[in-house]
Amino acid sequence: MDDIVRQAIAKWPNVPHCFGWLGLDARGNWYMRDDRVQAAGAFPASKGSLLKHDKLIDFIQRNYECDAQGQWFFQNGPQRVYVELEVTPWVWRLGEGHRVTAHTGRPAQPQRMVLDEQGRLYLHTDLGFGLVHTLDVAQAADAIEQGVWAPEEIPAEELPQRFGYLRSPAAARPAPVT
32-55: pLDDT as tens digits: 999 999 999 999 999 999 999 999
In this structure, the answer to whether residues 106 and 70 fall within a common structural domain is no
Q: Note the pLDDT of residue 177.
A: 54
Residues 55 and 82 in one domain: yes
Phi, psi of 75 (to 5 degrees): -85, 105
pLDDT of residue 131: 98
15, 61: one domain:
yes
Check whether 15 has a pLDDT greater than 90.
no
7 and 72 both lie in a single domain: yes
Q: Are 63 and 75 contained in the same domain?
A: yes
Cβ count within 10 A of residue 12: 11
Q: Tell me: do 101 and 148 sit in the same domain.
A: yes
Tell me: do 22 and 7 sit in the same domain.
yes
In a domain, 100, yes or no: yes
Q: Pick 23 or 178 by higher pLDDT.
A: 23
Q: What is the pLDDT of residues 109-161, one digit of tens each?
A: 999 999 999 999 999 999 999 999 999 999 999 999 999 999 999 999 999 99
7 and 83 co-located in one domain: yes
Letter string b/e over residues 119-151, b meaning 16 or more CB atoms within 10 A of that residue's CB? ebbbbbbebbbbbbbeebeebbeebeeeeebeb
Nearest 10 degrees: Cα torsion 101, 107, 113, 117: -40
Pairing of strands 72-76, 79-85: antiparallel
- CB of 132 within 8 A of CB of 124? no
The verdict on 68 and 126 lying in the same domain is: no
Residue with more model confidence, 106 or 175: 106
Residues 96 and 35 in one domain: no
pLDDT at 3: 75
In a domain, 23, yes or no: yes
Residue 177 domain flag: no
pLDDT digits (tens, 9 = 90+) for 94-108: 999 999 999 999 999
Instruction: Tell whether 8 is covered by a domain.
Output: yes
Mean pLDDT across 51-75: 96
Within-domain flag for 127 = yes
134 and 155 share one domain: yes
Same domain, 80 and 116: no
- Cross-sheet strand order for the sheet of 49-50: 49-50, 30-32, 18-24, 79-85, 72-76, 64-66
Q: Please, what is the average pLDDT of the chain?
A: 92
CATH of the domain at 12: 3.10.540.10
Q: Model's pTM, two decimal places?
A: 0.89
pLDDT band with cut points at 50, 70 and 90 for residue 12: low
pLDDT over threshold 80, residue 11: no
Domain boundaries, position 96 = 90-159
Q: Count Cβ neighbours within 10 Å for each residue of 34-61 and write b for 16 or more, e otherwise.
A: eeebbeeeebbebbbeeeeeeeebebbb
Q: What is the pLDDT of residue 6?
A: 66
Query: What's the number of domains the chain is made of?
Result: 2
Tell me: the pLDDT tens digits for 75-91? 988 889 999 999 999 99
